[in-house]
Amino acid sequence: MPKGFTIEEKRILIEKFKNACSQSWMNFGYKKTSVDILCQEVGIAKGSFYTFFKNKEELFFQVYRDAQDRIFSIFEAILKDNPSKEGLSKALKAVFKEYEKSTFVFDTKNPDYLNFNNKLSLEQRQEIDAQTARLNEEIFSQSFLSLKIDKDLAISVLFATMSTITHKDQLPVDIEQVFDFMIENLVEAIFE
């Protein structure tokens, strides 16, 4: 029978599980990350895992949503401090760096991500989609920005630019240099 945990111990263990999950997801993928591996990493018995999460998918979902929330918060904070095209460029570059730390959030066509997504409930998938749509809307709802092109085209161009992260190992120069160049030029081309 699993030992009882204090509220503080639970909080610490949940964070440890999230960190272990995120790291393992990045290194090995969703499918190869087992509850056994996570419990070994955190240092508690497998039965105790279920004190904190109903199943593996619940933990992965929380890690995914935390990454989305972190990305959104970074974007908002930078734009709040610098509401301009320059600020937008800076915010998009920061978002890109966060995606680079958590590629599982962006590479949604990857079979490993699809396997994870297929295990989620409809409500969980809708929550992920809503947060993604919220970030897109936040980009284009800034009062200091006016579009020079159609909004759907702008969303598509920025999405295509972000997707370069999945090809970073195939580029002859550093991905951040490529992304910075693209963002600086695209923000000028897309917004007044």
What is the mean pLDDT for each group of 10 consecutive residues in the chain (192 residues)?
79 97 93 96 94 96 94 92 93 90 79 92 94 82 84 89 83 90 94 89
Which domains, ranges and CATH numbers included, belong to the chain? 1-53 (1.10.10.60), 55-190 (1.10.357.10)
Contact 60, 30 (CB under 8 A): yes
Instruction: Tell me the pTM.
Output: 0.86
Picking from 98, 103, 126, the residue whose alpha carbon sits closest to that of residue 117 is 126
Picking from 144, 78, 152, 67, the residue whose alpha carbon sits closest to that of residue 106 is 67
